[in-house]
Amino acid sequence: MPTPAVARTDMYSAVKTTWDAGAATSGKTLIYDNVTSDVPQAESGSTGDPDLWGAVRVENNVSSVRSLRGDGGVRRFRRMGFVVLEVYTPAGNGLSSADAVVKVVLDGIEGQTTANGVYFRNAQVREEGVSGPWFLTVITVEFEYDEVK
């Protein structure tokens, strides 16, 4: 039964492990929310393809009481939200790069449970479209875990 901080670390670790293991994503940049990092840039006027990259964040959403206080005075709280992964692939090359990344991510975390009990489910994939040299695909996966306090 993780704390919110432990759960967030679990979620980032699950995404990073999946990202690093995928043939389409291994060695590619993955940026975390609220961490200063260089966003990959295509060279100005470049006709070459920029590398794909991703940005991940955790969005906490709903919390509810799941039990009454027991003899020890503790209760169980259900925490739910979303892991959001923005995937930037080269624009103008079709969706094969984005599809490969989506497969890596969904195969790696959808339906999985971390060692500390964070469960991933109900993935959604949205192809957002072209933004400069990138094509943006957003993968949103629901998570839930219980905290006891």
pLDDT at position 43, please?
57
pLDDT at position 48, please?
47
Q: List, in order, residues 6 or more apart from 90 with CB less than 8 Å away.
A: 49, 50, 51, 52, 97, 133, 134, 135
Q: List, in order, residues 6 or more apart from 140 with CB less than 8 Å away.
A: 82, 83, 84, 85, 123, 124, 125, 126
pLDDT at position 42, please?
63
State if pTM tops 0.85: yes
| pLDDT tens for each residue of 97-134 | 899 999 999 999 999 999 999 999 999 999 999 988 88
Q: CA 18 to CA 109: how far, in whole Å?
A: 7
| pLDDT tens for each residue of 62-93 | 888 877 677 777 888 999 999 999 999 988 87
